[in-house]
Chains A and B, each alone.
Chain A
């Protein structure tokens, strides 16, 4: 075999591109030719070094995705203002409620789906009246008012604005996540609850877990929901204990 051909088969062997028969034949040759075995070993080191370099680039790309998806850096607020107004929120809510009820009736089979469990347990997060921020009083008052009136689409960009300087304001994070849930954007809601949890604020930890768990149900990921709900179900001091136990029991069926 010429040098080029030999190099190609070493590479094909290392990249796992040989058929089972070819691979066995190649390994037999390596066993018989120590020089070939040594070349293969060198080439293996070379390929893993090259891949290691590319992997570091890949890792940097993952960090950018992390910042975008989890920390919400490049996330654009939902379009607002110039777009022509859609249906009034109460009409949408009414239709959604009707549809959910219909779906419930329609699907009332032996076991509820994760989404049905979500619908049965979800209640919007209530913003505490405290935690006013003196610098942004006007914006905050408006965001709170819109939220309390159920105008989630309008409230969301204001919460985003407030969160820019107050990442650790957990009630704001929870409210923004709830806006997304109300707007049927469960995937977009999740990072807010993750940030709430990461802050490890004892005051809101249970609520962050609860909403993260419900969101996973809505996403159809009962396994992930269980991870959040189990600690609540195990905690007698949690106000969510009974509800969490109920959901976990329903998921087991």
Chain B
């Protein structure tokens, strides 16, 4: 793959074209994973830890980009490194190890709220378990709209639907199904009256 600059990587991650996005994700792995793996291994972590931390950092980065919230004043590497550094600190504290990191790169402060997407809680887990009961078509359209933040026009194209309106109707139908499941779910009735 050609070397992408940070701006090109970000533009590819914003794309509505799945191939472009995948290319960028692979580029991120090839370029930056080794740096993170090195950092984690220097700080009492295993290869599995490094893989996991890096995945979480990509999730945070990807969601920031797709929701249009990313305001980057540093390189992509510095951003990813800083997120990984924070995540690794949390885990080490959880394991009650004495925490003193060996840093190899400069890092920037990361707003704790940006890591919230990674945290599981009861309502998230329960809604996710209901999502799993929807058909594949519904899972896809809801993901494209709420997670990947694609426009209805792009969703219609990607799913081979006739037009934007058909996609809108399909999404509304899927939401209705999900809300019915929520209504039938004792654990969630409290939350969603």
Residues of chain A touching chain B, judged by Cβ–Cβ distance below 8 Å, are 15-16, 42, 45-59, 62-63, 65-66, 68-70, 187, 190-191, 193-194, 197-198, 200, 212, 219-221, 223-224, 226-228, 230-231
| B146 x A62 contact (CB < 8 A) | no
B6 to chain A, nearest CB (A): 10
Residues of chain B touching chain A, judged by Cβ–Cβ distance below 8 Å, are 1, 3, 22, 25-26, 29-35, 37-39, 41-42, 47, 50-51, 54-55, 58-59, 62-63, 67-69, 75, 77-78, 104-105, 117, 120, 123-128, 131-132, 139, 142-143, 146-149, 178, 182, 191-192
**A-B contact sample (9 more), CB < 8 A, given A45-B124, A190-B34:** A15-B146, A45-B192, A46-B127, A51-B147, A57-B139, A62-B58, A224-B31, A230-B104, A231-B104
The total number of A-B Cβ pairs within 8 Å is: 143
| A69 x B35 contact (CB < 8 A) | no
| A227 x B104 contact (CB < 8 A) | yes
| A197 x B31 contact (CB < 8 A) | no
| B22 x A65 contact (CB < 8 A) | yes
Main secondary structure of the interface of B (DSSP, over half): helix
CB-CB under 8 A for A59 and B132, given A197-B34, A227-B35: no
Specify which of A49, A59, A228 is in contact with B131 (CB 8 Å cutoff): A49
List residues of chain B with CB within 8 A of the CB of A187.
Answer: 1, 3, 30-31
Specify which of B3, B33, B139 is in contact with A66 (CB 8 Å cutoff): B33
The residue in chain B whose Cβ has the minimal distance to the Cβ of A62 is B55
Specify which of A45, A46, A63 is in contact with B55 (CB 8 Å cutoff): A63
Specify which of A51, A65, A198, A223 is in contact with B25 (CB 8 Å cutoff): A65
| A49 x B149 contact (CB < 8 A) | no
Specify which of A49, A190, A197, A226 is in contact with B126 (CB 8 Å cutoff): A49
Specify which of A49, A62, A194, A198 is in contact with B123 (CB 8 Å cutoff): A49
Specify which of A54, A191, A231 is in contact with B30 (CB 8 Å cutoff): A191
Specify which of A65, A66, A227 is in contact with B38 (CB 8 Å cutoff): A227
List residues of chain B with CB within 8 A of the CB of A70.
Answer: 29, 33, 51
List residues of chain A with CB within 8 A of the CB of B50.
Answer: 198
| A66 x B51 contact (CB < 8 A) | yes
List residues of chain A with CB within 8 A of the CB of B31.
Answer: 187, 190, 219, 221, 224
